[in-house]
Structure 1
Amino acid sequence: MVDLAAYAGLFFAAFIAATIFPMQSEAVLVGLILSDRYALAALVLTASVGNTLGSVVNWLMGLGVERFRDRRWFPVKPDKLEKAKTWYRKYGKWSLLLSWLPIGGDAITVVAGVLKEPLPTFLVLVFIGKTLRYGVVAAVTLGVIG
């Protein structure tokens, strides 16, 4: 019998981890892999889909960021936002393959929204990056690499 609660928990952890909230979805994935009770491909897919959809939250925030950028409480200084936009324009949509990075990955997905990267392109590239990351975590956990 499939334990849907475990997959739901992994999905939720991966979803939250992709947003601005702190969460360690890799630890959840590793724990489930080591339990040897779940299909590896299903775990990697669940984490990848959850993390990709969490990144959509960042993309949506980016779409609305311009209307708040002049507010006193806005967390990003105008020069930093311009620098991020310049960086994204330089490297383009392919930088979304790095959205899995623990530092800067979330910012890339927000800036993609600010610059109105089309959602289908965003989804494909972010999903590829996230899946590669979780695939590497799974391979390291199983001792296939590392």
Structure 2
Amino acid sequence: MEFFTDTFGLWSLFGSAFVSATLAPGGSEVVLAYLVSRSELSPEVLLLTATSGNTLGAVTTWLLGFLTAMKYPAERVAEPRRQKAIASVRKWGLPILLFSWLPVVGDGFCFAAGWLRLPFWLSVLVIAAGKALRYAAIVYAFV
């Protein structure tokens, strides 16, 4: 029974982290905090699971931006919120992706990075680093 509970907990955390990093709202921090404080799973496994799911969700958003750029170049963006995200990514480049975990604007940074065709693997690396640091702080707070 413990295997089932642990497996379900990991998949729930991964799914919550993935959805939280796409354009849909989510609350993976709560799931992580609960599992860290109540689960028999190691904090390292939980950290890796949350970071992986959240990074893959952000990569999905990056890819959506990349695909959108094929039909709508960044120069033709009319929506002010997207213009702001694009301007921030243009100004700060890859380092802004360290903040891709921020609510609301983080998704915009990932989308804009794809739209502006920032280097894919470097984007993934920086996104993963930012997300790992955020989740590490949560794990540390609840161990």
Q: Give the TM interval when normalised to the shorter protein.
A: 0.7 to 0.9
Deviations 1:23-72 (A, max 9, x none): 10001001101114111000001000000000011101101223157xxx
Q: Which residue of 2 aligns with 1:111?
A: 112
RMSD: 1.7
The CA distance in 2 between the partners of 1:37 and 1:24, in whole Å, is 21
Q: What is the TM-score with the length of structure 2 in the denominator?
A: 0.87
Residue 58 (structure 1) aligned with residue 64 (structure 2): no
Contact conserved, 2:36 with 2:43, CA < 8 A, in 1? yes
The CA distance in 2 between the partners of 1:19 and 1:78, in whole Å, is 19
Q: Which residue of 2 aligns with 1:22?
A: 25
Contact conserved, 2:17 with 2:51, CA < 8 A, in 1? yes
Unaligned runs of 5+ in 2: none
Matched letter for residue 86 of structure 1: A
The CA distance in 2 between the partners of 1:49 and 1:64, in whole Å, is 22
Higher helix share: 2
The CA distance in 1 between the partners of 2:39 and 2:14, in whole Å, is 18
The CA distance in 2 between the partners of 1:130 and 1:40, in whole Å, is 15
The CA distance in 1 between the partners of 2:62 and 2:8, in whole Å, is 28
Q: Which residue of 1 aligns with 2:11?
A: 8
Identity value in percent: 36
Contact conserved, 2:100 with 2:130, CA < 8 A, in 1? yes
Deviations 1:110-140 (A, max 9, x none): 0000011121101100000000000001111
Of residues 39, 43, 47 in structure 1, which corresponds to 2:46?
43
Aligned length: 136
